[in-house]
């Protein structure tokens, strides 16, 4: 959101004046601008195509308005700063011959026209520092799927404003026909996600010998990658499968071996010799990315043949980890990499146990009760073995290993969360985490007594776990993923818990709602007695990106997408995925501006937020596919002046992980928006991922936001969020921290795991998209409605915790709990906790409500289910609905 716009009346006057100026400028410019008509073979190819921009001045000036064919009535306008850009996705590679820019009076003095094969690596095809505005017709020579105007200096104090941005050209490989007589992959360097054995290396698939083959491990996903040596235009791929072939797979290209573009998706492949013709894409690297095997064996290819088209190739980009940068206002791109700041504390096995323990204790003493403070810490352990440690983890503290896999860091001791500070009550042990290391507990059992926003990921526990304080105390909610616990897990007093894609020795205990998805060793399905909800596999998952280190320095590993998964990703070898150098990241520190972060993304960098509190008064736009946004040590983004602090474009593969978003004192529309309104892209092959993302309204002070999280992009994966309208702390009250809704899902085929959403004043969750799935939902209705009359709508008392919109025809959910504690008016009887359309394809399994002693919930779902009464703190269960 742009927050510095003039008042409405002034804005109207400015438009009228500028419209008059624009007319004069256009007339004056017309006489001196050479207008060259596009050749007869080339046509307007950009109109109506998807468009994105670095920013928009307001909702009435979207990027799409520059491609709608209306040259006088609608326009794109940017924020009032440099640099800014607008780009169009032509849908496939095109030869570009001409660009026309129809400027409003706020035009660019200095700008470039750039093309890109993938939306990441850009080539200048036109550049000027003397832009004149009006209508500019530019003859260019270039090719690409994406075309953008990259403005570096404005001619006015306002932003950049275009009535229309027209691209002329033709589709098809530059230079002529597809060259099927030559295999561009033969003899080139090849590697793979895995090999079955030494006799089936990746190189065997590109050696020209149909008697040798590459074959993978017997799991999904797997990939085969070839370095063509230079950027090539790809027009055809032929795969000579052995009997173990791929049923579902993609062909992907990359110019930097980091960011990948899918140019062909195959579902229901038949094996044999498979010819994929009519491809349109370019890259130096090409890979087959398999997501589903046709047999119980791996993927096996006799020969992988790549044909190219065009008059030649372009030179290869640098193979260094730092990507090419787009121009910046200063002429210097932002640097990648850098130090991680003073609140990232790195330990080495050469340090004494006493030294390490003293630092752990120092931070814990400060953070044990620091529930709403501004201090943030990240502990990192280099690979090796550590003995005699007890790492007690307090608020806003994360402890991570720096190995590529959990076994690389061995803690002979304990990583402990207890609740001594709160008399054994663990229900407020929020905002702390452990990740990517192995624990050998001193007593054989590690203690992790937590509540919400406290993930336990990629941990190898050589022993058991307990999930509550020594006397059981009170405990309510938690999350384990991609982990192995060799012994028994005892939840003790935990009212609900979610475990996903892990391996456990056993589980013993339950209160109301224990949910397991893809957990090897989980108890059998038995809800409600005992209340175990067990799914053997998880439909579609992608694990959280994580920081690690090798001989070259810090890197971030991005795990691969999995379907129908179970068990941890690393038990049988390295987690499949892609490794990114820290030099591919802009390392952010508190005080950075949204403009700088936008520049970093625009020039091809990912974002790494070091521990601290970040105040942003405008939007960080993540409009580049496959961008990774990763926070360390509960890095916290505060929305200032009513800003929407972060928004994702309708693009593939963006990962946002490890961040806490805080509402500010001025109402924001949203804290995190994934996809623009009306997003239509199909991202099934590379979904957006929201992982360990937490959203808070109040508690640290008075705060306001309409909706915490909005998901518009199709196929998004939500993997563990806690959206919390504060029920305690500073600024907690019906009028002090108003917020309507925690989560709105508009996208199709969105999958949510570990959905914790609490205390919002209207519907806590609204699900508008078809094909949605939720596995585990934990909710408390607001504590503080002043009366039933103040908290009613359409003749119904209260708002449901989870509403599926009336127009939805397919949705499924498992393991859901909603609770009430109406402190201000215990007479309130909320009508129901789940409100859904009556449709056989809208299915709910193993859901419940509980009254925690104040107020009641009349029904569980719609008009079904017994009342949860204050006099009986026992769940009201519905096993299946309908």
Distance, CA of 138 to CA of 837 (rounded, Å): 54
Nearest partner of 844 among 787, 780, 772, 783, judged by Cα:
772
835 is catalytic: no
Separation of alpha carbons 243 and 300, rounded Å: 7
Spatial distance between the Cα atoms of 405 and 569, rounded to a whole number of angstroms: 10
Q: In b/e form, how buried is each residue of 72-82, taking b as 16+ CB within 10 angstroms?
A: eebbbbbbbbb
For the chain, state the CA radius of gyration.
28
> Cβ(739)–Cβ(709) under 8 Å?
no
Q: For residue 354, what is the enclosing H or E element?
A: helix 353-367
CA terminus-to-terminus distance, the chain: 42
Q: How far apart are CA 22 and CA 28, in angstroms?
A: 10
String of DSSP letters for 27-68: HHHHHHS---PPPTT-EE--TT--EEES--SSTTS-GGGGGS
What is the Cα–Cα distance from 99 to 88, expressed in whole angstroms? 12
* Residue in 465, 419, 459 with CA at minimum distance from that of residue 444: 465
- Among candidates 373, 369, 506, 391, which has minimal Cα distance to 437? 391
Cα separation, 688 vs 584, whole angstroms = 19
Name the nearest CA neighbour of 721 among 741, 692, 746, 760: 692
Distance of CA 157 to the CA centre of its chain: 35
The token duo for 18 is 């500028």
Q: Where are the beta strands (DSSP E) in 18-160?
A: 43-44, 51-53, 76-77, 84-103, 108-116, 123-128, 135-154
Of the listed 242, 543, 758, 780, which one is catalytic? 780
Give 469's DSSP letter: B
294, two tokens: 């046709």
Give CA–CA dist 723/709, Å, rounded.
Answer: 8
Phi and psi angles of residue 366, each rounded to the nearest 5 degrees, phi first: -75, -35
Catalytic residues: 780
């Amino acid at each position: 959101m742009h927050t510095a716009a003039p008042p409405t009346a002034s804005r109207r006057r400015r438009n009228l004046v500028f419209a008059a100026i624009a007319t004069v400028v256009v007339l004056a410019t017309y006489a001196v601008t050479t207008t060259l008509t596009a050749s007869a073979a080339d046509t307007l190819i950009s109109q109506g195509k998807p468009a994105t921009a670095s920013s928009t001045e307001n909702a009435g000036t979207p990027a799409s308005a520059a491609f709608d064919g209306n040259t006088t009535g609608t326009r794109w306008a940017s924020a009032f700063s440099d640099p800014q850009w607008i780009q169009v996705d032509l849908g496939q590679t095109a030869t570009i011959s001409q660009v026309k820019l129809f400027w409003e009076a706020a035009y660019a003095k200095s700008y470039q026209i750039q093309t890109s094969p993938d939306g990441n690596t850009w080539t200048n095809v036109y550049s000027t520092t003397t832009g004149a505005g009006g209508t500019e017709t530019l003859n260019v020579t270039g090719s690409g799927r994406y075309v953008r105007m990259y403005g570096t200096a404005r001619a006015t104090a306002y932003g950049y404003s275009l009535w229309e941005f027209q691209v002329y050209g033709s589709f098809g490989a530059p230079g002529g026909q597809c060259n099927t007589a030559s295999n561009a992959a033969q003899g080139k360097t090849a590697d793979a996600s895995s090999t079955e054995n030494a006799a089936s290396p990746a190189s065997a698939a590109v050696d020209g010998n149909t008697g040798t083959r590459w074959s993978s491990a017997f799991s999904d996903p797997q990939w085969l990658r070839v370095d063509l040596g230079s950027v090539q235009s790809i027009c055809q791929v032929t795969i000579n499968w052995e009997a173990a072939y791929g049923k579902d797979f993609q062909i992907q290209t990359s110019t930097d071996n980091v960011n990948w573009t899918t140019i062909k998706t195959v579902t229901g492949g038949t094996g044999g010799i498979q010819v994929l013709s009519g491809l349109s894409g370019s890259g130096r690297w090409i890979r087959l990315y398999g997501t589903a095997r046709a047999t119980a064996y791996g993927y096996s290819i006799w020969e992988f043949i790549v044909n190219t088209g065009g008059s030649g190739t372009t030179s290869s980009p640098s193979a260094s980890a730092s990507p090419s940068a787009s121009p910046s206002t200063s002429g210097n791109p932002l640097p990648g990499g850098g130090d991680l700041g003073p609140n990232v504390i790195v330990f080495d096995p050469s340090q004494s146990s006493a030294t390490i323990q003293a630092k752990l204790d120092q931070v814990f003493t400060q953070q044990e009760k620091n529930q709403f403070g501004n201090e943030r810490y990240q502990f990192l352990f280099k690979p090796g073995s550590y003995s005699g440690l007890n790492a007690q983890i307090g608020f806003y503290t994360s402890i991570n290993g720096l190995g590529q896999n959990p076994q690389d860091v061995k803690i002979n001791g304990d990583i402990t969360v207890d609740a001594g500070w709160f008399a054994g009550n663990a229900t407020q042990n929020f905002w702390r985490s452990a990740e990517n290391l192995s624990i050998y507990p001193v007593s054989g059992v590690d203690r992790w007594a937590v509540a919400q926003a406290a993930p336990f990921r990629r941990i190898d526990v050589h022993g058991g776990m307990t999930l509550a304080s020594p006397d059981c105390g009170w405990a309510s909610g938690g999350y384990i993923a991609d982990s192995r616990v060799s012994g028994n897990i005892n939840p003790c007093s935990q009212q609900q818990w979610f475990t996903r894609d892990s391996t456990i020795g056993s589980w013993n205990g339950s209160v109301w709602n224990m949910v397991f998805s893809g957990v090897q060793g989980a108890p059998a399905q038995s809800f409600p007695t005992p209340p175990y909800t067990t799914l053997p596999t998880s439909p579609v998952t992608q694990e959280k990106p994580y920081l690690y280190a090798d001989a070259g320095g810090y890197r971030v590993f991005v795990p691969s997408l999995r379907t129908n998964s179970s068990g941890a990703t690393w038990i049988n070898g390295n987690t499949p995925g892609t490794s990114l150098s820290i030099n591919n990241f802009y390392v952010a520190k508190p005080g950075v501006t949204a403009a700088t972060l936008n520049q970093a993304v625009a020039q091809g960098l990912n974002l790494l937020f070091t521990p601290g509190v970040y105040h942003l008064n405008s939007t960080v736009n993540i409009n580049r596919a496959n961008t990774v946004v990763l926070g360390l040590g509960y890095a916290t983004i505060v929305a200032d002046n009513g800003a929407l602090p972060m928004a994702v474009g309708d693009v593939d593969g963006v990962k946002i992980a490890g961040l806490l978003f805080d509402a500010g004192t001025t109402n924001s529309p949203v804290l995190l928006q994934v996809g623009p309104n009306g997003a239509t892209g199909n991202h099934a092959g590379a979904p957006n991922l929201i992982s360990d993302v937490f959203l808070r309204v109040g508690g640290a002070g008075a705060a306001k936001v309409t909706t915490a999280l909005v998901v518009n992009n199709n196929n998004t994966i939500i993997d563990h969020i806690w959206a919390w309208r504060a029920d305690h702390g500073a600024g907690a009250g019906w009028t002090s921290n108003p917020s309507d809704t925690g989560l709105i899902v508009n996208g199709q085929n969105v999958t949510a795991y570990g959905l914790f959403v609490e205390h919002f004043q209207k519907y806590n969750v609204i699900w508008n998209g078809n094909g949605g799935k939720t596995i585990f939902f934990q909710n408390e209705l607001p504590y503080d409605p002043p009366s039933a009359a103040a908290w009613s709508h359409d003749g119904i008392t209260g708002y449901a915790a989870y509403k599926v919109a009336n127009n939805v025809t397919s949705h499924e959910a498992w393991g859901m709990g909603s609770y009430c504690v109406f402190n201000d008016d215990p007479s309130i009887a909320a009508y129901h906790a789940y409100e859904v359309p009556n449709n056989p394809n809208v299915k709910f399994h193993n859901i419940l409500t509980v009254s925690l002693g104040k107020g009641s919930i009349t029904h569980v779902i719609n008009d079904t289910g017994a009342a949860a009464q204050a006099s009986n703190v026992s769940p009201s269960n519905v096993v299946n609905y309908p």
